[in-house]
Amino acid sequence: MGMKSDERLETIYQEVLKRNPGETEFHQAVREVLESLGPVLAKYPEFRERKIIERICEPERQIIFRVPWQDDKGEVHVNRGFRVQYNSALGPYKGGLRFHPSVYLGIIKFLGFEQIFKNALTGLPIGGGKGGSDFDPKGKSDNEIMRFCQSFMTELWRYIGEYTDVPAGDIGVGGREIGYMFGQYKRLTSKYEAGVLTGKGLDYGGSLVRTEATGYGATFFVQEMLRARGDEGFGGKTCVVSGSGNVAIYTVEKIHQLGGRVVACSDSNGFVLDEKGIDLELLKQLKEVERRRIRDYVEYRKHARYVEGGNIWSVPCQVAMPSATQNELNGKDAAQLVKNGCIAVGEGANMPTTPEGIRVFLEAKIAYGPGKAANAGGVATSALEMQQNACRDSWTFEYTEKRLAHIMKNIHQNCWDTAEEFGAKGNYVVGANIAGFIKVAKAMVAHGLI
């Protein structure tokens, strides 16, 4: 890969490993970007002189705090909260909050690092950040969620604001959690600062299409990748979407609207296979309304099959959309997908494919859209929500979706052109990493040594 040939990049990477021990996901995200940057340093020697890469790998600010809360029985629990304000060269920090037991500093840093370049690719004025907690919302009552969110925001509010840092949702944080956090922020600051959190409910400053944005955007991106190869798009294609959360649900919805057929989706316990096509209304009812597990799908669709602990990537498909979580698709899975005739992969999740898996996709020359490009529609629509909040406005669904489709088309074009310019035609990994990096690097150079 590109890094070995450039001693400076290898040295920077070794330094990152040394300074951030044990943060494996963060190491992986950094390596994946650095491997693309050799030709950039050759073309822009000032990035090397100003040590832009060394500076970009170190977050501007990392905040870690205690979150105590009481459950419905009155028992006290203590969780840990995080906000990594990674890079503000292009605008206020922007990135989600993840509530999941696996959360620790390394995961927040990988997500924040990835977010810098993703946000740059949207072309909108937002920097990169991320946060969350090792709190597990699964099986908690609404009241417990509220008490946790209020306690979390009682510390976080000091560090955020519409011109500083604008959090949103991620795994475990949806409209319910954003609502409780927004209420507490408003109470603590005595301000109705609508632009401080995105993914808000439509009754109090939220944007239409925000709920759908990541899934719709990823689907639009894959559509563009297919067209770039002379294929008409999703019409008649068999697709597999992992996960069954927000991103997965709206990926399924848009694929069906564009004429494709999603035959499988999953959660952390297993996957469901429905050859007739996933019943979207049932999926929404189970997941968004009743908050149940995917296994319950087969109670209502008798012909469908649930595979406990099964591997969704064994299901033959032409388009695969990993939309669950990091490192859910490894080298063996990738080889299986390619063998089964998969021609396009669009990442709805952040870093869902391991380095081995990415290598398999690139070597097979299939259309592979990495998360920082393919799933940028979510944060792009959050930036549109910020725009609406800033001018006290709300746009129609049609207008907002049109803007989203346009942004995804531009991201695709930008990645395609950049890959070609740097001698890697059709390689969206190189295109996304370089295009995002150059934009941030130029802004950092302009701002001086800070």
List the Cα angle 132/134/324 in 5-degree steps.
75
Side-chain-side CA neighbours of residue 410 (13 Å): 16
Alpha-carbon distance of 112 to 294, in angstroms, equals 29
pLDDT digits (tens, 9 = 90+) for 263-274: 999 999 999 999
**Residue 115 marked in a binding site:** yes
Catalytic residue numbers read 130
- Counting runs of H as helices and runs of E as strands, what totals does the chain give? 18, 12
Same fold, 60-191 and 213-374: yes
The CATH class, in words, for 60-191 is alpha beta
Which of 346, 396, 354 lies closest to 376 in space, CA to CA?
Answer: 346
Look at residue 360 in the predicted model and tell me its pLDDT: 98
Query: Which CATH number applies to 213-374?
Result: 3.40.50.720
Which of 189, 171, 166, 188 lies closest to 135 in space, CA to CA?
Answer: 171
Q: 235 Cβ partners below 8 Å, 6+ apart?
A: 258, 259, 260
Alpha-carbon distance of 319 to 225, in angstroms, equals 11
Q: What stretches of 303-435 adopt beta strand conformation (E)? A: 305-308, 319-321, 344-346, 367-369
CA distances to 3, 12, 48, 56, 383 from 7, rounded to whole Å, are 7, 9, 12, 18, 38
pLDDT digits (tens, 9 = 90+) for 190-219: 999 999 999 999 999 999 999 999 999 999
Q: Average pLDDT, stretch 230-245?
A: 97
- Whether the predicted model's global pTM rises above the 0.85 cut: yes
Which of 174, 14, 153 lies closest to 99 in space, CA to CA?
Answer: 174
**Residue 382 marked in a binding site:** yes
pLDDT over threshold 70, residue 342: yes
**Residue 169 marked in a binding site:** yes
| Domain-wise residue ranges, the chain | 7-56, 60-191, 213-374
H or E, element range at 50? none
**Average pLDDT, rounded, for the chain:** 97
pLDDT digits (tens, 9 = 90+) for 298-333: 999 999 999 999 999 999 999 999 999 999 999 999
Q: Average pLDDT, stretch 337-349?
A: 98
**Residue 106 marked in a binding site:** no
Look at residue 6 in the predicted model and tell me its pLDDT: 84
pLDDT bracket for residue 28 (50, 70, 90) = very high
pLDDT over threshold 70, residue 4: no
pLDDT bracket for residue 440 (50, 70, 90) = very high
**Residue 214 marked in a binding site:** yes
Share of the chain above pLDDT 70, in %: 99
Look at residue 47 in the predicted model and tell me its pLDDT: 97
Q: Average pLDDT, stretch 122-143?
A: 98
